[in-house]
Amino acid sequence: MNTVEPIAISVGKTQRVRSDIWHSVWTDTIVAGPPQTPLLLADEDIVDDPTTAADPELAPSINNRRRPNATNIPRMPADLATGDAADAPKTPAVSTAVDRLDVRSLSLTLPNGRQLLSNVSFSARPGTLTAIIGPSGAGKSTLAKLVGGVLTPTTGEVRFAGHCMSDDYAGLRHRIGLVPQDDVVHHQLTVRAALRFAAELRLPDAATEERAAAVARVLEELELTDHADTRVDKLSGGQRKRASVAMELLTRPALLILDEPTSGLDPALDRQVMTMLRRLADAGRVVLVVTHCLTYLDVCDQVLFLTPGGKTAYCGSPHDIGAVLGSADWADLFTRISADPDTAHRDFLTRHGAPPAPLRAPSSPTAAPPRLLRQTSTVARRQARLVLADRGYLAFLAVLPFILGTLSLLVPGDTGLGVADPYSRAAEEPVQVVFMLSISAMFMGCALTIRDLVGERSIFQREQIAGLSATAYLAAKIAVYAVAAATQTAVLTAIVVVGKGAPTRGAVLLSNPILEMYTTLAATAIVSAIMGLALSALAKSQDQILPMLVLAMMLSIVFCGGMIPVSGRPVLDQLSWASPARWGFAATASTTDLATIAPLLQTNDALWSHNTCWWLLNMAMLIVLGTTLAAAVRWRTRLRLARSRSARQTAKRSCRPRPLPPCSNPLKLRETTVRRMTPTQTP
Ligand SMILES: Nc1ncnc2c1ncn2[C@@H]1O[C@H](COP(=O)(O)OP(=O)(O)OP(=O)(O)O)[C@@H](O)[C@H]1O
Ligand SMILES: [Mg+2]
C-alpha cells in the first residue's frame, strides 16, 4: 500500500469528518473489520459546517492527491478494495446500504442449454476499478450486460446499493452508466450538442442552467472542453470514447460499466483511457471495465478472469494473478485457461469455496415515468439537426424531388392531367404522369428513412435503457421525416403542375384539385417514410438497406396498379392491400379522375372513382397502414432488454429457478427471453 503523509487528525467539537471520507471509513470497517493502521486525515477532510460535507465533486481532489498518477497508483489492500473478492483474503459478506456492487452466483443459460455464464460472484466498492478479462467469447460482455441490468440472469443476482437490479431496475437505471463497445454518440453532432441533447433526455427535471452546468462538468472531467465544438466524427478514437463516457456521466452514475473502451486504440490512448477510468473510480464510483488490453491492469483494484463458458478462473488483485495462476505470461495463461476452463474454475473454487448467498432486498427506489412530450421535442430537434448536419445526404434529399419532377416531365404528350385523346400517340400520358408522381413520392419517403434506425441502433438502445421512451423516439422521427417528405412532395408537385398542368377534373373533397393531389402525394410519401423506418428496423446491418429499398420499390411498382392491373386479380389484389402504393396511387387517381382522363386504361378499379367516398377510403387506408407500420416499428424497437411488469413481479415472488421458454433458434434469442431472476439461488 502506498504511504500517505499524515497531515492532521484533529476533529474538534464543532467539526465533522467530511461525509464522503467518513462514509468510506465506515464502509471499510463494516466490510473488512477495523483498520489495521491509524486513520489518516487531511485538513480538507474535516469540515466546520456539516451541511457542506457531502460535495461529491471534492472526492476526486482528495483521491488524486493520494493517487498522483495512474501508473503509480496507491491502492487499498485487495480485501479493502474489493470487499469479499474471491481471491482476496476472505471477509464476511456483509450488505451495506452504500453504493456497493454485489454480484452473486450469476449464471446465464440459453434455452438450448448452452451456458454463457456460470456462477460468477464478485463485489466492488465505491472508488474501485474492476477489470473483466478473458478470452474472446468467454462471456465478458454478457456479464457487463447482466451487471448493467440489461439482461436478467437465469440464476443469481446483482445488487447495487443494496437493491436488486432485477427488482428495482427502473429506479436504479439512472445510477448506472453503461458504455457499450459501439460508440453511442451521433457522429454528425458536435460533442457539446450531443451532450446537450443527452442532458435534456437524461435530466428531464433539471433547469436549463443545471443541464448546461452538467455538460460543462463532464466536458471538464473528461478533458473534452477544448473539443466541445468539434464534430464527433472528427475526434480521435480515444476522444470519441471519452465522449461516450461523458454522456454516461451526465447523470452522475455511481456504477459505470464500460465494454472494451480501449479496443482499436493505440497503446498511448489505451493508457489514456485506463487512466481516465482510474480517475473516475477515484471520484467514488464503482467502475467495471471489460478489456482485452492487459498492459495497464495494474491500475485496477481487482481483476475478474473469465474462462470460456463464463466461469471464474481468478478474482482478486492484478498483482497476485501471476502467483495464483502460476504464470505471468498472459498469452500462456489465456491458452491454458481456454484449453481447460473447467480445471481453471475448479482450482478457483478449491482456493475460495462457494460464494456467499444472495442478500435480501430493501425497499425499491421509485422511477419517474418518462415524459413523452418533452422527450419527443428533444429527439425531434436533435433529429432535425442530424438531418441538417449530414450535408451530403441533405444535398441528395434536396435535389431528389427536382430530379424526379424533371423525369416526370419526360412523359410524352402535352395533355398532362387532362382527358387524353385515345387516338393520339400520347394516349397513356395521364396514367404515366400519375404513376410517376406516386412512385416518386414513395421513393422519396422510403429513401428518407430507410437507413435511419439501423444506423443508430446502439445509440437508441442505450438511450432506451437510460429512460428514453420508444414511443417518443418514434413519434419524433415520424414528425421530422413527415415535414421533410411533405416538403419534397411539394417541390415534386409544383414541378409537375408547372410542366404538365393541374388536374382538370376538379377536386372531390378539398376545394382545390392541386391541393388535393398534393395531399394524396404527401400522405403517400409520409406513409412510405414510415415503411422505410419499418424496413430500417428490420435490417440487421447497413448492407441490407439497398436490397430492401430495391425490393420495396419493385413491389410498390407492381402493387400500385398503375402499371400492372391488380384489381380483380385474386391473390395479387389482396396482397396489394398491404402496400401503401396501392392506396396512395388510388387516392391520386381518384383526385385526377384517372378512369376518365386515360381512356385506354384497361383497369376498371373502383378505388380510382372520382368521388368523395372512394377518395376518403383510400386516404383512410393510407392512414391505417401508416399507423400499423408505426406500431410495428414501435414493437420491433421496444426495449426487449427491459423487464416486463409481470416478469418483475414473478422475479420478486419466485426464488426458485424456472425453466426457460423454448426458442427455436438460439441465435435469434432476444434478451428478454433470457431475463430470468432467481434471487436466492445459490450454487
Ligand atoms: N443473445 C445471444 N444468443 C446466443 N448466444 C449469445 C448471445 N449473446 C452472446 N452469445 C454467445 O455468448 C458467448 C459470450 O459472448 P460475449 O459477447 O459475452 O463474449 P465476450 O467475452 O464479450 O467476447 P469478446 O471478447 O469477443 O467480445 C459467445 O459465444 C456468444 O456467441
Ligand atoms: Mg465482448
pLDDT in tens, 223-245: 899 999 999 999 988 788 889 88
Q: What is the pLDDT of residue 360?
A: 45
Residue 139 CB less than 6 A away from ligand 1? yes
**Nearest ligand to the CA atom of 113:** 1
Cα 179 to ligand 2 centroid, rounded to whole Å: 12
User: 302 and 221, same structural domain?
Assistant: yes
Total domains in the fold of the chain: 3
Cα 656 to ligand 2 centroid, rounded to whole Å: 29
- To the nearest whole number, what is the mean pLDDT of the chain? 77
**Which runs of E-coded beta strand occur in 384-491?**
none
- Residue 356, domain member (yes or no): no
Q: What are the CA-CA distances from residue 171 to residues 103, 117, 160, 175, 247 (Å)? A: 18, 26, 11, 8, 19
Mean pLDDT of 65-90: 34
Q: Is the pLDDT at 16 greater than 50, yes or no? A: no
Q: CB of 99 within 8 A of CB of 126? A: yes
Residue 110 CB less than 6 A away from ligand 1? yes
Q: What is the pLDDT of residue 356?
A: 53
Q: CB of 426 within 8 A of CB of 164? A: no
> pLDDT tens-digit profile of 199-213?
998 888 888 999 999
Under the banding of pLDDT at 50, 70 and 90, the label for residue 93 is very low
In order, the DSSP letters of 623-657 are HHHHHHHHHHHHHHHS-TTSPPHHHHHHHHH--S-
Give the nearest ligand 1 atom to 670 CA: 1
Q: Is the pLDDT at 628 greater than 90, yes or no? A: yes
CATH, residue 117: 3.40.50.300
Q: What is the pLDDT of residue 355?
A: 55
Q: What is the pLDDT of residue 193?
A: 94
Under the banding of pLDDT at 50, 70 and 90, the label for residue 639 is low
Q: What is the pLDDT of residue 464?
A: 84
> pLDDT tens-digit profile of 334-393?
888 888 888 888 888 888 766 555 444 444 444 555 688 899 999 999 999 999 998 898
Residue 449 CB less than 6 A away from ligand 1? no
| Closest residue CA from atom 20 of ligand 1 | 137
Q: Is the pLDDT at 517 greater than 90, yes or no? A: yes
**Nearest ligand to the CA atom of 146:** 1
Residue 666 CB less than 6 A away from ligand 1? yes
Residue 667 CB less than 6 A away from ligand 1? yes
**Nearest ligand to the CA atom of 673:** 1
Q: What is the pLDDT of residue 586?
A: 94
| Closest residue CA from atom 25 of ligand 1 | 136
Q: Is the pLDDT at 79 greater than 90, yes or no? A: no
Which one of 88, 123, 152 terminates a domain?
88
| Closest residue CA from atom 9 of ligand 1 | 142
Q: What is d(CA 255, CA 247) in angstroms, rounded to the nearest whole number?
A: 14
Give the nearest ligand 1 atom to 145 CA: 18
Instruction: Specify which of 258-262, 299-303, 504-508, 621-625 reaches the highest per-range mean pLDDT.
Output: 621-625
User: 542 and 404, same structural domain?
Assistant: yes
Under the banding of pLDDT at 50, 70 and 90, the label for residue 161 is confident
User: Strand 286-290 and strand 128-133: pairing?
Assistant: parallel
| Closest residue CA from atom 13 of ligand 1 | 137
Q: What are the CA-CA distances from residue 359 to residues 103, 312, 523 (Å)? A: 10, 21, 56
Residue 145 CB less than 6 A away from ligand 1? no
Torsion angle in degrees (nearest 10) through CA of 207, 210, 211, 213: 160
| Closest residue CA from atom 30 of ligand 1 | 137
Cα 482 to ligand 2 centroid, rounded to whole Å: 38
Mean pLDDT of 238-258: 88
For a mutational test of ligand 1's pocket, the pick from 112, 116, 154, 663, i.e. the residue with the most ligand atoms closer than 8 A to its C-beta, is 116
In order, the DSSP letters of 493-537 are HHHHHHHH---SS--SSSS-HHHHHHHHHHHHHHHHHHHHHHHHH
**Closest alpha carbon to 588 in 514, 674, 680, 646:** 514
User: 425 and 313, same structural domain?
Assistant: no
Q: What are the CA-CA distances from residue 563 to residues 435, 554, 555, 625 (Å)? A: 7, 11, 12, 22
Mean pLDDT of 573-601: 90
Cα 141 to ligand 2 centroid, rounded to whole Å: 4
Give the nearest ligand 1 atom to 144 CA: 18
Main-chain phi, psi angles of 423, to 5 degrees: -100, -5
Q: CB of 168 within 8 A of CB of 652? A: no
Q: Is the pLDDT at 611 greater than 70, yes or no? A: yes
User: 389 and 347, same structural domain?
Assistant: no
| Closest residue CA from atom 5 of ligand 1 | 667
- Residue 666, domain member (yes or no): no
Q: What is d(CA 69, CA 49) in angstroms, rounded to the nearest whole number?
A: 31
> pLDDT tens-digit profile of 94-151?
334 478 898 988 888 888 888 899 889 999 989 999 999 988 888 999 999 889 888 8
Cα 140 to ligand 2 centroid, rounded to whole Å: 6
- Residue 17, domain member (yes or no): yes
- Residue 488, domain member (yes or no): yes
- Residue 672, domain member (yes or no): no
User: 410 and 266, same structural domain?
Assistant: no
Q: Is the pLDDT at 502 greater than 60, yes or no? A: yes
Residue 100 CB less than 6 A away from ligand 1? no
Residue 571 CB less than 6 A away from ligand 1? no
Which one of 318, 351, 384 terminates a domain?
351
Who wins on pLDDT, 482 or 464? 482
Q: What is d(CA 663, CA 111) in angstroms, rounded to the nearest whole number?
A: 6
Residue 660 CB less than 6 A away from ligand 1? no
Q: For residue 457, count other CB atoms closer than 10 A to its CB.
A: 17
User: 235 and 210, same structural domain?
Assistant: yes
| Closest residue CA from atom 1 of ligand 1 | 669
> pLDDT tens-digit profile of 324-347?
888 777 888 888 888 888 888 888
Q: Is the pLDDT at 308 greater than 80, yes or no? A: yes
- Residue 93, domain member (yes or no): no
Which one of 56, 88, 120 terminates a domain?
88
Query: By mean pLDDT, which of 225-229, 499-503, 640-644 is the weakest?
Result: 640-644
Cα 59 to ligand 1 centroid, rounded to whole Å: 36
Q: Is the pLDDT at 312 greater than 50, yes or no? A: yes
Mean pLDDT of 46-52: 36
Mean pLDDT of 489-518: 92
Cα 640 to ligand 2 centroid, rounded to whole Å: 19
Q: What is the pLDDT of residue 221?
A: 82
- Residue 367, domain member (yes or no): no
Query: By mean pLDDT, which of 280-289, 321-330, 506-515, 611-620 is the weakest?
Result: 321-330
User: 166 and 107, same structural domain?
Assistant: yes
User: 194 and 109, same structural domain?
Assistant: yes
Q: What is the pLDDT of residue 404?
A: 95
Who wins on pLDDT, 436 or 427? 436
User: 231 and 134, same structural domain?
Assistant: yes
Mean pLDDT of 64-83: 34
Residue 291 CB less than 6 A away from ligand 1? no
Q: Is the pLDDT at 428 greater than 90, yes or no? A: no
Who wins on pLDDT, 14 or 246? 246
- Residue 362, domain member (yes or no): no
Q: What is the 3-state secondary structure (H, E, C) of 160-199?
A: ECCEECCCCHHHHHHHEEEECCCCCCCCCCEHHHHHHHHH
Query: By mean pLDDT, which of 214-218, 315-319, 482-486 is the weakest?
Result: 315-319
User: 36 and 147, same structural domain?
Assistant: no
User: Quick one: DSSP state of residue 34?
Assistant: S
Residue 141 CB less than 6 A away from ligand 1? yes
Q: Is the pLDDT at 256 greater than 60, yes or no? A: yes
Q: What is d(CA 585, CA 563) in angstroms, rounded to the nearest whole number?
A: 11
pTM: 0.70
Q: Is the pLDDT at 87 greater than 50, yes or no? A: no
**Residue type, position 572, single letter:** L
Domain containing 398: what range? 372-636
Cα 110 to ligand 1 centroid, rounded to whole Å: 11
Torsion angle in degrees (nearest 10) through CA of 370, 376, 378, 381: 170
Residue 669 CB less than 6 A away from ligand 1? yes
Give the nearest ligand 1 atom to 116 CA: 12
| Closest residue CA from atom 19 of ligand 1 | 137
User: 603 and 503, same structural domain?
Assistant: yes
Q: What is the pLDDT of residue 666?
A: 32
User: 399 and 542, same structural domain?
Assistant: yes
